[in-house]
Amino acid sequence: MKAFVVDKYKKKGALRLADVPEPELRDDDVLVRVHATAVNLLDSKVRDGEFKLILPYRPPFILGHDVAGIIVRIGPKVRRFKAGDEVYARPRDHRVGTFAEFIAMNETDVALKPKNISMEEAASIPLVGLTAWQALVEVGKLRPGQKVFIQAGSGGVGTFAIQLAKHLGATVATTTSTKNVELAKSLGADVVIDYKTQDFEKVLSRYDLVLHSQDTKTLEKSLRVLKPGGLLISISGPPDPEFARELGLNLFLKLVLRLLSRGVRKKAKSLGIRYSFLFMRAQGQQLSEIASLIESDVIRPVVDKVFPFEKTGDALAYIETGRAKGKVVIRVGE
């Protein structure tokens, strides 16, 4: 099969289109013919080697964390799916590789594709949808009447998280550039801050929850818009000791992550608020619940551009510009 592979960890390194063997099917796997995949900043960071200490892949490996396609074969222990099912997924860590014509995935990572959207739209959802769900529903336990600040409202996670937070009954604030203010409002944001002309720290106060996805300076400012007892969930770091425990990292790496997050944890504690790092995980059941919301028109996918498979490298370069509205998708097969 054709696939785009990373030959070595390198910042902005080129992907190589290669002929590779079809993935092996384990007993509880489904083999999916990939119709569409999507590009995430996570792909860039994995290729650059930013996660190789905590999430090592041995080059050459196939990139890609989102998929929509059709099941062509199932393992003998698979009970939830059959050949011919249209599905979508975010494959689990250490088994990613959706920049390819086929991928094998554990059936628990997979869900039936929402019926009312295209393969390209479905491929845009899994990683950002699960990130938003796990942040707002699972960790944040967002309730009606609470106030949530979602950074980067026109990005992949932001466009999804705004819609989910509104569905959960929250008041939503977000930041975006001037040209994307109307997009953020159309998704349901109540307070839209143009970061080019406004300082969110001067506009927002006493928020219950912050979904942080930006740099360290923004992180420190975000702590100050929370009320005592509030929670900041970061998807851009720094990782905390709880994350190290969940991953079962060795003593040295646990110490490294403890030191990396020490400053922000200390600052949060002094303000009477909580800090949590989230690295989303594969979860097919949550994707099924997300599919129901999409089929009920509660959430709509936001797709910026669709690239052909042979232009996968261009799609990755485009997402790195930071200008994408919503998700960038790659059409792999018909």
Mean predicted confidence (pLDDT) in 45-49: 96
List, in sequence order, every residue forming a beta bridge with 17; answer none if it has no partner: 4
Count Cβ atoms within 10 A of the Cβ of residue 117 and give its class: 0-12 exposed, 13-18 middle, 19 or more buried. buried
Q: Look at the block and give the residue holding tokens 């494959």.
A: 91
Number of Cβ within a 10 Å radius of residue 267: 15
List the domains of the chain with CATH numbers.
Answer: 2-124+301-331 (3.90.180.10), 127-277 (3.40.50.720)
- Band of residue 210 on the pLDDT scale cut at 50, 70, 90: very high
Checking if the pLDDT of 334 tops 80, the result is no
Residue type, 191: V
The most distant pair of C-alpha atoms in the chain lies apart, rounded to whole Å, by 58
Which run of H or of E encompasses 95?
none
- The pLDDT of residue 333: 86
What local confidence, expressed as pLDDT, does residue 115 receive? 98
**Local confidence band at 187 (pLDDT 50, 70, 90 cut-offs):** very high
Q: Which residues are CB-neighbours of 197 under 8 A, at least 6 positions away?
A: 178
Give the helix/strand (H/E) hosting 328: strand 327-331
- For the chain, the average pLDDT equals 97
Q: How far is Cα of residue 246 from the mean position of the Cα atoms in its chain?
A: 18
pLDDT recorded at residue 318: 97
pLDDT tens for residues 272-311? 999 999 999 999 999 999 999 999 999 999 999 999 999 9
How far is residue 235's CA from residue 254's CA, in Å, rounded to a whole number? 18
Q: Please state, in angstroms and rounded to a whole number, the distance separating the CA atoms of residues 281 and 253.
A: 20
Integer Cα distance of 331 and 68 in angstroms: 10
pLDDT, tens digit, for every residue of 223-236? 999 999 999 999 99
pLDDT digits (tens, 9 = 90+) for 87-122: 999 999 999 999 999 999 999 999 999 999 999 999
